[in-house]
Amino acid sequence: MKKWLNGKTIVITGASSGIGKQLTRLFIEKCNAKVIGIARNQEKMEALKKELGDKSENFSYNLFDVSKEDNWIEFKNYITEKNIKITLLVNNAGILPGFTKFLDVSIEDGKKIMDTNFYSIVYSAYHLMPVIDEKGGVVNICSSDALLSVAGTNYYSASKSAVKAFTQSLKHEYKDKYIGCILPGFTDTNIFRNIEMTKKDKKKIQKFVSPCDVIAKKIFKAIVSRKKYKVVGYDAHIFSLLSRFMPISGANIINGVLRKAKVDLFKDAFDK
Ligand SMILES: NC(=O)c1ccc[n+]([C@@H]2O[C@H](COP(=O)([O-])OP(=O)(O)OC[C@H]3O[C@@H](n4cnc5c(N)ncnc54)[C@H](OP(=O)(O)O)[C@@H]3O)[C@@H](O)[C@H]2O)c1
């Protein structure tokens, strides 16, 4: 079963950065897979192609916004016209604009989070599942925030909870396919680029943030082993344990700790 992706074609969204970029490298280097990356930033995609060196032929990319259904219809037509056989779709693209209280996020911005993190997955699955190999599948990159919600992540948490529930349902509806849900914890990526952090904050945060390459390797291992549900990162494991055994007080503990930590990162997430 471990070799099911060798030489196959994998579509990865959000391949230009962070977890998606590392996964692209791993699938190409370890499985000799052909990866079709999807993101919007051409410069970053070109840089990744260069980094792949003599394996760069295994990587191609399409630039589009995953939150728009029309783009997925166009992509499906492209796949069909070129007669490309997809074995795996990894829905990884996502955004976390900041840790902000609900009333300070406009409805429009909130919808953008839902569109990017949740509806993109609905569109890609709807249009690509019919053309994915019989024994292939779909993996959705969720978040530990779908287990316990952290203050200031209102829409993000809702979008990831929707991803978790949606994936669970698909898993039971399409027994023959591999449908996976991966829940990483805090990972050191560009997802926090728009969030201002002091040096002191960064130091505090580093204590519970996992390096991106470590998390990507764990996700890679889970996917090649066809794991249907995988929590990755030690903070995510704490979230998982608390959500299972003390769902209400567990969330109180996590949020209490974050409030007391007085980290600038969460300064707009709690009442003063
Ligand atoms: N980092 C964490 O702590 C953490 C924790 C739990 C879960 N996750 C999840 O892991 C996934 C990957 O995040 P990351 O941490 O690797 O973040 P990242 O470094 O910011 O990468 C995000 C990727 O998504 C792409 N993307 C964002 N919006 C897009 C759009 N509308 N259309 C197309 N592509 C889009 C970006 O590409 P372009 O900008 O080039 O379009 C980029 O390649 C996300 O789903 C995130 O929610 C992350």
Residue of 26, 59, 90, 92 best suited for mutating to test ligand 1, as the one with most atoms within 8 Å of CB: 92
The whole model's pTM is what?
0.97
Domain ranges of the chain: 9-266
Ligand 1 centroid – CA 272 distance (Å):
30
Ligand 1 centroid – CA 217 distance (Å):
17
Residues 6+ apart with CB under 8 A from 44: 16, 17, 21
Our answer on whether the CB atom of 65 is closer than 6 Å to any ligand 1 atom is: yes
Identify the CATH homologous superfamily for domain 9-266: NAD(P)-binding Rossmann-like Domain (3.40.50.720)
Segment 185-202 mean pLDDT: 85
Give the pLDDT confidence of 146-157 residue by residue, as tens digits: 999 999 999 999
Ligand 1 centroid – CA 77 distance (Å):
25
How many angstroms separate the CA atoms of 226 and 178, rounded? 7
Segment 256-266 mean pLDDT: 87
Q: Which DSSP string do the residues of 111-164 spell out, in sequence order?
A: HHHHIIIIIHHHHHHHHHGGGEEEEEEEEEE--GGGTSPPTT-HHHHHHHHHHH
Q: Which DSSP string do the residues of 35-91 spell out, in sequence order?
A: EEEEES-HHHHHHHHHHTGGGGGGEEEEE--TT-HHHHHHHHHHHHHTT--EEEEEE
Ligand 1 centroid – CA 98 distance (Å):
13
What is residue 1's predicted lDDT score, i.e. its pLDDT?
55
How many angstroms separate the CA atoms of 187 and 216, rounded? 9
Question: Coil, strand or helix: which one is 9?
Answer: strand
Q: Tokens 């410069």: give the residue.
A: 43
Segment 31-43 mean pLDDT: 98
Confidence of residue 82 (pLDDT cuts 50, 70, 90): very high
Question: Chain-wide mean pLDDT for the chain?
Answer: 95
